[in-house]
Amino acid sequence: MPKKNAPAPCACQAGEPVSKATLDARLDEVIAEYKDKPGGLIPALQLTQATFGYLPEPALKKISAGFGMPYSEVAGVVSFYSFFTTHPRGKYLVRVCMGTACYVRGGKDVLEAMKKKLAIDVGQTTGDRLFSLEVGRCFGACGMAPVVMINETVHQRVKPARIGDLLNRVLAADEKPATQERP
C-alpha cells in the first residue's frame, strides 16, 4: 500500500502521457517529504526514479538544491548504487550474470550473444525501449549457471544459441491475456 504522502507512480507505464508540470509537482512532493529525514536521499531518489523511469540530470539538480547538498554528492550516490540509472531503461531489464560460476560456464558468450541479438552494448537500451542490457555480479543461482535475469525472472542454463528464443518467450508471455475465457 503506498504511503499517504508518497507521489503517485508514473502513469507513463500505463501508456498515459504525463505532463512535465505533473512530473515536476511529483518531484516537489518527494523532496518536501524526504529532505529533512535522516537517510532521506535514497528513498527520494528511488521515488524519483519510479516517477520518471530514470534519474534525469535536471531532477538530480533539483534534489541537490532541495536537500541542500552538492550535486556531486547526489550524483555520487546515484553512481554508487547499481539500482539507479541516469538514462531511460527499457520495459525489460536484461541482466547477464558475470559472477565466477556463470563466467566459467559461458556467461561471457551469453553476454556477447545478447549484445548481438539486441544490437546494443551493456548499459544501453534498444531504440524501441523494450530492452536494456546490464551485467550482474551474482544472482545467487550458481548451480544453474549461466544465468540471465529479465526483470525479476531468473533464466537458468542459458545457451548463447537460444537467446532469440528466450527473448521471444518473454515478449510472448507479455502478450498473453491475464485471464483466459472458457469456450
The percent of residues in the chain predicted with pLDDT above 90, rounded, is 69
How confident is the model over 111-151, as pLDDT tens digits?
999 999 999 999 899 999 999 999 998 889 999 999 999 99
For residue 163, is pLDDT > 60?
Answer: yes
The backbone region for 9, taken as left when phi is positive above 0, alpha when psi lies in -120 to 50, beta otherwise, is: beta
Q: Does domain 92-175 bear CATH number 3.40.30.10?
A: yes
Cis, peptide link before residue 146, omega less than 30° from 0? yes
pLDDT at 72: 97
Q: What is the pTM of this model?
A: 0.67
* pLDDT confidence of residue 71: 97
Instruction: Report domain extents, the chain.
Output: 11-80, 92-175
3-state secondary structure of 97: strand
Q: Of 48-52, 60-64, 72-76, where does mean pLDDT reach its minimum?
A: 48-52
Q: d(Cα 37, Cα 35) in Å, to the nearest integer? A: 6
Task: List, as one string, the DSSP characters of 69-92.
Answer: S-HHHHHHHHHH-TT--SSPPPSE
Q: Quote the pLDDT of residue 25.
A: 92
Q: How many CA atoms lie within 13 A of 66 on its CB side?
A: 22
**Is it the case that residue 171 has pLDDT exceeding 90?**
yes
The predicted pLDDT at position 16 comes to 57
Q: What is the pLDDT of residue 20?
A: 84
> SS3 breakdown of the chain: % helix, strand, coil, rounded to 5?
50, 10, 40
pLDDT score at 88? 87
Tell me which residue of 75, 79, 28, 80 sits closest to 51, measured CA to CA: 28
Angle at 129 between CA 102 and CA 26, to 5 degrees: 105
